[in-house]
Amino acid sequence: MSQSVSDSSTSQVLQEVLAANEAYSGNFGTKGELPLPPGRGFAILTCMDARLDPAQYAGLSEGDAHVIRNAGGRASDDAIRSLIISHKLLGTKEWFVIHHTDCGMELFTDTIIRNLLSKSLKTATVDENGWRNVTEEGGSDEARFIPFLTFTNLTDSVTEDVKRIKSHPLVPKDIPVYGFVYDVKTGKLNEVAEATQAGLATA
């Protein structure tokens, strides 16, 4: 007897996702014919925060643009890897760096998360006294090798990331990189002038 991952014994979230996908694929229309390179020729680097939906806030449909997401929307080595592929092999010509208000990356430091992880891998809690492990067993010191790329100032984090991308030797000078902060209270994108200035295309 074959066993499907969507058996009733499995997670509710898993069942919901598979049901949603059934409906989505049933209504797929002509999207199967979309070409691989993004049709509108641009890429967005943004945070993984669940309140952000780049397709909604930037008006994207399937096939339009690359969206690269990580914690904070930071210009990590891996984000830059994706942007380089996005341009070099898939032709994007304009990039956005979009961080957001109330970002969780402002709520801890490398030291805090490394200490928490060294004592337990279970989800920590936070209150007015800061972050705290619920149990203290089964941790690992491996986090000391991970730069978590936290920040304390949104304008600075966007500007720093635009500058890092623009100054990378594998990023062509003629790609403009725009810097924005998404406001989770209003859904509005607010430009960070200093970042966009730093990200101007040059010949």
Q: How far is the CB of 116 from Zn ion (least distance, A)?
A: 18
Nearer to Zn ion, 47 or 165 (CB): 47
Q: How far is the CB of 184 from Zn ion (least distance, A)?
A: 9
- 124 scored as a contact of Zn ion (CB under 5 A): no
Secondary element (H or E) of residue 98:
strand 94-100
Nearer to Zn ion, 154 or 198 (CB): 154
Nearer to Zn ion, 103 or 171 (CB): 103
Binding window for Zn ion (CB under 5 A); candidates: 36-44, 46-54, 89-97, 127-135: 46-54
Name which of 75, 66, 57 is nearest 182 in CA terms: 57
The span from the CA of 117 to the CA of 138, in Å, is 9
Q: How far is the CB of 29 from Zn ion (least distance, A)?
A: 33
Binding window for Zn ion (CB under 5 A); candidates: 4-12, 47-55, 123-131, 132-140: 47-55
Phi, psi of 181 (to 5 degrees): -120, 125
Q: Distances from the Cα of 173 to the Cαs of 116, 165, 166, 192, in angstroms?
A: 41, 10, 7, 20
Nearer to Zn ion, 19 or 107 (CB): 107
Q: Which amino acid is at 49?
A: D
Applying the rule CB under 5 A, the residues between 56 and 115 that interact with Zn ion are 103
Name which of 192, 166, 162 is nearest 100 in CA terms: 192
Name which of 101, 92, 43, 96 is nearest 72 in CA terms: 101
The span from the CA of 166 to the CA of 163, in Å, is 5
Candidate residues 43, 44, 45, 47; the one interacting with Zn ion per rule CB under 5 A: 47
Candidate residues 38, 42, 49, 181; the one interacting with Zn ion per rule CB under 5 A: 49
Scan for tokens 């989505």, then name that residue: 24
Nearer to Zn ion, 17 or 107 (CB): 107
List of residues contacting Zn ion (CB under 5 A) = 47, 49, 103
